Every structure is written in C-alpha cells, then in structure tokens.
C-alpha cells in the first residue's frame, strides 16, 4: 500500500514536471575540497615554498637563504593535492629546474616513463605533467640590481582532451613596503599587462592563438597595508606607466577584466589569507593570487590548503598531517600556504 502511494506520488510529480529526490545509494567516498570536479579539470597550484626548503639539508645547490626544512610535508602535500601544473616561488636561481621535476617524478610518477617538465625564470619554477613550450622569463630591475621576475610557458595540453593549450605566467613580485618596492611591483604588473596585450595582437614579441586561456599566478606580495595597485592593474589592464609600457589594454580576450580567483581556506568558510606570520604583527594576507582570463576558462573548485584546520578524518585519508603547512611547526610559523584552482577550459 505504501509502495503504491509512493508510485502515485512519483506519477503525480512527473505530471507536474518534478522528480522525487532520490538518496544516492553509492558507497563511494563523498567529494571533498581535495577532489577535482572531473578528471578533465586542470589542477593548478601555486606555492611560495620559502627558499629551497623542499630540498634536503646539505644539498650543494641550496640557496644561501635556506634555513627551513619542509621536505617531507611538501611531499605529503603533493600526494594529497595531485596538481597537474605547479608554480613554485623561492627556488634558488642557480638550481637546475630538473631538480624540482625530479621531486615530482618521485612523488607523482607519470605513466609510461614520462617525466615532469620544469622551467625556471628567476626564482619561479613552472612544473607540468604536460609539455612546456614558448618558454620565456623576465626580470624586473631597479638601478640595474636584479630583484624579481617571472617564468612564462605554454602548457601544451593533449589535443584529444582539450580544445586549446594554457598559457601560464608564474610570478614573484617584490616584497616589502616603501615607495621603491611598491614601484617595482607596479613595474612588474605594467610589464605583464603589456605582455598580455602583445599576446593578443599579431606581431611584437609573442602571439598566442586567439582565445588561448591564460593564468597569472604566484606570490604577488599583495598586502593590506598598501592599495595593492599592481593587482588592480593585472585584473583591469590599467597600466600606470603608459609612457614606458604603452596603452591600457583589457586583459581578457573579450575586452573585459580578468578575474582574481580568491580561494577560501579548504574551499569553505571565510578565511582567504595565503600568508601568515603571527610573530611580526602583520595581518594575515592574500599575498598569493591566481588571476585568469575568465571568458575562456572557469574555476570550478579552489582552495587555500590549511592542514591546521582540516577535519582529522580527512587529514588521515589524504595522508596529511595537521602541521604540514607550517614552515616551522615549533613556532607555528606559516609563511605561505599552497593555493589551488581546478580549471575548466570553456573556449
């Protein structure tokens, strides 16, 4: 009788165009923020790892600034996050990028004996499951003193699965306050908008196939103590020094602004900071950004990984430990956190 009533209800709902809500019976683990929405999504991660901390102590190529060790936590994070493409900052500039690729080969080996590709520009390294072409790098100078820069490459995605490739700019902007440093951050943003303008117009130094998705990510050193004008420039294409870098240019292919992804901690809640140092009196901040051409790509899942606030069950399932994002677990010093987006190419 109850079954008959249920069937009548279903029939009635069908007549008015609704379907009854059916509880899924699958026993598979429910999706968490760590899961990609689909296998076709590209998982892109940016992480300022602090000078060469991901390499063992005693590595002869370690940067002279190296004083911290996150060798094992970094490997656990890679295993849990499983990025397809990474942008790492504060990799010592004398290091061959294949040393970064070797870590990925060990932790996340590719099928068929393929090797991860790696490309360095200043202290920025792009690491990718896929071929990297159109490799370039740029440096931002002040009085001939080398300061910061970025690594650039086209991630050559498999034609069978993706309509187009993905152009990536992995950047580290100048840190600290003060007029000179603000000016250097603005120079770098102006340089990049001029580059994006060149990407979209025939001629000049670079041409991309029309509608190629692009993403600018990394440690932009965007503080809450200054207006972070350089971030506005990247999003809106409003160049400040037009005498030197040319006319403003909307950075997206459809003549609109780009989008700043602004992921949340573990995909939910209100926290969005990507850097934190409780010892020095600064507010935690969104120093690290992921800015992209939203007319040709979509971010369907994103998170700042914060293991310290993750559910213990999920931590365990992911093979992570609560302290894994601390640079120094003894003093609870975070430094930077890993920032992740899952990208769908919509072009």
- Residue 158 contacts Ca ion per CB under 5 A: no
Which residue in this structure is represented by tokens 């070797």?
102
* Residue 235 binding Ca ion, by CB under 5 A: no
When asked if residue 190 is in the footprint of Ca ion (CB under 5 A), the reply is: no
**CA 43/CA 35 separation, integer angstroms:** 10
**Is residue 59 a contact point for Ca ion (CB under 5 A)?**
no
Per CB under 5 A, does 288 bind Ca ion?
no
Radius of gyration from C-alpha coordinates of the chain: 22
Among 52, 165, 190, 252, contact with Ca ion (rule: CB under 5 A): 252
Residue with Cβ nearer Ca ion (229 or 264): 229
Assess 232 for contact with Ca ion (CB under 5 A): no
Note whether 88 binds Ca ion by CB under 5 A.
no
Figure out which of the listed residues 198, 264, 277, 308 binds Ca ion, where binding follows CB under 5 A. 198
* Cβ-based nearer residue to Ca ion, 50 or 186: 186
State in angstroms the smallest separation of the CB of 209 from Ca ion: 12
Could you give the CA distance from residue 112 to residue 103 in angstroms, rounded to a whole number?
17
- Cα(233)–Cα(182) distance, integer angstroms: 13
For the bound state, the minimum distance from the C-beta of residue 238 to Ca ion, rounded and expressed in Å, comes to: 4
Count Cβ atoms below 10 Å from residue 19 Cβ, excluding itself.
Answer: 8
Per CB under 5 A, 178 contacts Ca ion: no
Q: Which of 59, 207, 226, 271 binds Ca ion (CB under 5 A)?
A: 207
Size of the site for Ca ion (CB under 5 A): 11
d(CA 27, CA 322): 27
Structure tokens at 79: 């295993």
The burial class, CB within 10 Å (0-12 / 13-18 / 19+), for 288 is buried
138: helix, strand or coil: strand
Residue 207 vs 226, nearer CB to Ca ion: 207
Instruction: Establish if 256 lies at the interface with Ca ion (CB under 5 A).
Output: yes
Residue 204 as a binder of Ca ion (CB under 5 A): the answer is: yes
Closer by beta carbon to Ca ion, 35 or else 207: 207
**Segment near Ca ion (CB under 5 A); pick from 144-152, 203-211, 324-332, 337-345:** 203-211
Among left, alpha and beta (phi > 0; psi -120 to 50; other), residue 346 is alpha
Instruction: Name which of 164 and 295 has its Cβ closer to Ca ion.
Output: 295
Among 123, 190, 294, 342, binds Ca ion (CB under 5 A): 294
Q: Indicate the SS3 state at residue 333.
A: strand
Helix axes of 229-236 and 179-200: crossing angle, nearest 10 degrees = 10
What is d(CA 164, CA 157) in angstroms, rounded to the nearest whole number? Answer: 7
Stretch that binds Ca ion, among 119-127, 201-209, 276-284, 320-328 (CB under 5 A): 201-209
Q: Is 238 in the site for Ca ion (CB under 5 A)?
A: yes
With CA atoms as reference, report the closest residue to 274 among 222, 320, 341: 222
Shortest distance, position 341 Cβ to Ca ion, whole Å = 15
Are 93 and 122 in contact by the 8 Å Cβ rule? The answer is yes
Which chain residues interact with Ca ion by CB under 5 A? 198, 201, 204, 207, 238-239, 248, 252, 256, 294-295
């Amino acid at each position: 009788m109850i079954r008959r009533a249920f069937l009548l209800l279903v029939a009635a709902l069908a007549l008015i165009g609704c379907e009854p809500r059916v509880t899924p019976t699958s026993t598979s683990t429910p999706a968490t923020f760590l899961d990609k929405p689909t296998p076709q999504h590209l998982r892109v991660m940016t992480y300022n790892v602090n000078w060469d901390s991901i390499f063992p102590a005693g590595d002869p190529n370690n940067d002279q600034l190296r004083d911290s060790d996150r060798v094992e936590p970094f490997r656990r994070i890679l295993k849990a996050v499983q990025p397809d493409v990474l942008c790492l900052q504060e990799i010592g500039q004398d290091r061959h990028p294949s040393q970064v690729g070797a870590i990925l080969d060990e932790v996340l080996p590719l099928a068929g004996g393929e090797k991860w590709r790696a490309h360095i520009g200043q202290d920025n390294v792009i690491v990718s499951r896929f071929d990297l072409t159109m490799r370039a790098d740029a440096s931002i100078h002040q009085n001939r003193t080398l300061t910061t820069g970025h690594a650039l490459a086209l991630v050559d995605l498999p034609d069978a699965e993706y309509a187009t490739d993905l152009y990536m700019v992995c950047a580290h902007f100048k840190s600290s306050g003060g007029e000179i440093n603000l000016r250097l951050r603005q120079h770098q943003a102006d340089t990049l908008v001029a580059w994006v303008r060149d990407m979209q117009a025939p001629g000049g130094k670079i041409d991309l196939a029309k509608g190629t998705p692009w993403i600018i990510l990394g440690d932009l050193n965007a503080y809450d103590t200054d207006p972070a004008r350089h971030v506005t420039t990247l999003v809106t294409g409003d160049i400040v020094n037009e005498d030197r870098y040319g006319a403003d240019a909307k950075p997206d292919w459809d003549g609109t602004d780009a989008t700043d992804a602004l992921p949340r901690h573990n995909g939910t809640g209100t926290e969005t900071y990507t850097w934190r140092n409780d010892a020095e009196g600064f507010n935690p901040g969104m120093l690290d950004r992921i800015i992209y051409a939203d007319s040709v790509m979509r971010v369907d899942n994103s998170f700042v990984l914060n293991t310290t606030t993750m559910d213990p069950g999920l931590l365990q399932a992911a093979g992570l430990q609560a302290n894994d994002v601390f640079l120094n677990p003894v003093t609870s010093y975070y430094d930077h956190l890993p920032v992740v987006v899952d990208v769908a190419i919509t072009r």
